[in-house]
Chains A and B, each alone.
Chain A
Amino acid sequence: MYCSSRPALLTVDHLSMRFGGLFAVNDLGFTAYGSEITAIIGPNGAGKTTLFNCLTGFYKPSVGRIALTAPGAPRFLLERMDGYRIARDARVARTFQNIRLFPGMSVLENLLVGQHTPLMRASRYSLAGLLGLRGYRLQERRSLDTARYWLDRTGLTAQADQPAGSLPYGSQRRLEIARAMCTEPALLCLDEPAAGLNPRESLDLNQLILDIRQEQGIGILLIEHDMSVVMTISDHVIVLDHGSLIADDDPAGVRCDPAVIRAYLGTAEDEDLPTEVAADLNRTAAGGRS
């Protein structure tokens, strides 16, 4: 069980999500802490993305409670809220496994849509905006500055006026993160941000995620398949298998957890592993425990 000195940000209790007879997430409970990177790992079909969809309101969980307590904000029970409210009021931002940008709109516009809530508020149901009142213009200026900041941070300034759909894959991934950050989230959920990136881009991305945690002081949930990434940047690792929690520890602890190894590689008994692999496995497990 993982312990942290930091305040709890997200508390998930007895979360279950059922599709027909299948439990995609089964009685899951964990806590993610503020200013930490919490990695969620597990084999394909373990329920990671389903968990994200429950957290961000795209699915209504069958059972369970998801509580978010950000500093300086009231406590939100996410399982009861609509998706857009979770993003707007509870300030949970996310990216998607298969990138979801607004491909026909420019990079800069994507970042402005990310700041819809404050802009909309300042435009007062568009009336102030239509008349070009001062309050709206100031907010627009501020939003553009925020956008400029994130363009700079993600190295997309030069492409700001291009359609988002025309960017190369790696840039699209970064843009999606920048857009999510423009909502000024309390919790950022990244769904496989490194998928499809080359090693160099992947390294840059790790740095970006670390910087975000460092500078913005927000909690980050990260679904990731690349173990080296997980081990390098995360503070806390949650392992799912078949929708259930099988480990909840720091990276070093998870690395040598026998349940995790079994989930990833199968057991030596039922899978007829080559002897040297099995030996290797046992050695790792034993080494970890000592």
Chain B
Amino acid sequence: MEYFTQQLINGISLGAIYALIAIGYTMVYGIIGMINFAHGEIYMIGAFISLIGFLLLGTFGITYIPLALIIVLVLAMLFTSIYGWAIERVAYRPLRGSVKLAPLISAIGMSIVLQNYVQISQGARVKPLPPLIQGGLTLFSDNGGYPVRLSYLQILIVVVTITLMAAFTYVIARTPLGRAQRATEQDMTMARLSGVNVDRIISLTFVMGAALAAVAGLMVTLYYGVIDFYIGFIAGIKAFTAAVLGGIGSLPGAMLGGLLIGLIEAFWSGYFPIGYKDVATFSILVLVLIFRPTGLLGRPEVEKV
């Protein structure tokens, strides 16, 4: 039971990170129907910027952790957003309305470029960061069994994620920007005719997705304490899987999907051979898609004849 609870806690923290990345996939897919393959790399860049940010603040002598966290969060979101914006502008926008596969190939190319760009400029070695937030709560360890730990960091991850999700849901559901976004998603031509600046909305979607990925990057840097140039690929695939699992295009779906993927991974690692945990993730994806092809929260599609 203790072990189970521990995996639950780990799974939820991991799932929160996946959910943050998955939102970027789902929003971009919802609005322009493309798989932004480079999104995983955006998250990786977010992680690197966070790490560099911490070191930079250290040299300036800012060691008060909450302040450093906030500054790094803002910096990482800002600079990663610029990456998100630039990638859309350079590699995707010219291909809008072109053959369906063209943006996907361009995105795969972009992903390779970014990965190697970071590898060349930062080196291929794994980068460690000493734990900044230590300690936590020990839940029911008294009966002599396995101690269940809930670290402060895990609390932070979940709190930040929930706050951001709430803010995002509000933006999409209630603000004029969100309305324009939803309009563009439903019918780009009609939205343009009604005076929505579609190009700007799409750019903003990429910026928002990148900003969330940067938060995920920061969290992962803190959580695992090590990053390298390759983390974006696997996390990207998992997050996209999460988006599809939840129903691509659906914001709550991405959150649910992320959470599920995190839980599956944590429980599989806890109870079964860890090497096969990705097999478990993808197998569940396949099963869900076969029995519920639009994902868990996706809108059912009526085939138009």
Contact = CB atoms under 8 A, between A and B. Distances in A.
Interface of A: 19, 49, 53, 58, 96
6 contacts: A19-B302, A49-B305, A53-B305, A58-B303, A58-B305, A96-B305
B299 to A, nearest CB: 13
Pairs A-B, 6 closest by C-beta atoms: A58-B305, A53-B305, A96-B305, A58-B303, A49-B305, A19-B302
A217 B305 CA distance: 28
Nearest to B304: A98
A53 B302 CA distance: 13
Contacts of A19: 302
B78 to A, nearest CB: 45
Interface string B276-305: 000000000000000000000000001101
Contacts, number: 6
B99 to A, nearest CB: 11
A19 B304 CA distance: 13
Interface of B: 302-303, 305
A96 B305 CA distance: 8
Contacts of A96: 305
Nearest to A96: B305
Contacts of B303: 58
A96 B303 CA distance: 14
A49 B302 CA distance: 14
A49 B304 CA distance: 11
Contacts of B302: 19
A58 B305 CA distance: 8
Nearest to B302: A19
Contacts of B305: 49, 53, 58, 96
Contacts of A53: 305
A197 B157 CA distance: 62
A49 B303 CA distance: 13
A19 B301 CA distance: 12
Nearest to B305: A58
A53 to B, nearest CB: 5
B30 to A, nearest CB: 23
Nearest to A97: B305
A204 to B, nearest CB: 26
A58 B302 CA distance: 11
Nearest to A100: B305
A227 to B, nearest CB: 25
Nearest to A53: B305
A287 to B, nearest CB: 40
Nearest to B303: A58
A61 to B, nearest CB: 14
Nearest to A191: B305
A58 to B, nearest CB: 5
A19 B302 CA distance: 10
Contacts of A49: 305
A184 B303 CA distance: 27
A191 to B, nearest CB: 9
A58 B303 CA distance: 8
B223 to A, nearest CB: 45
B102 to A, nearest CB: 16
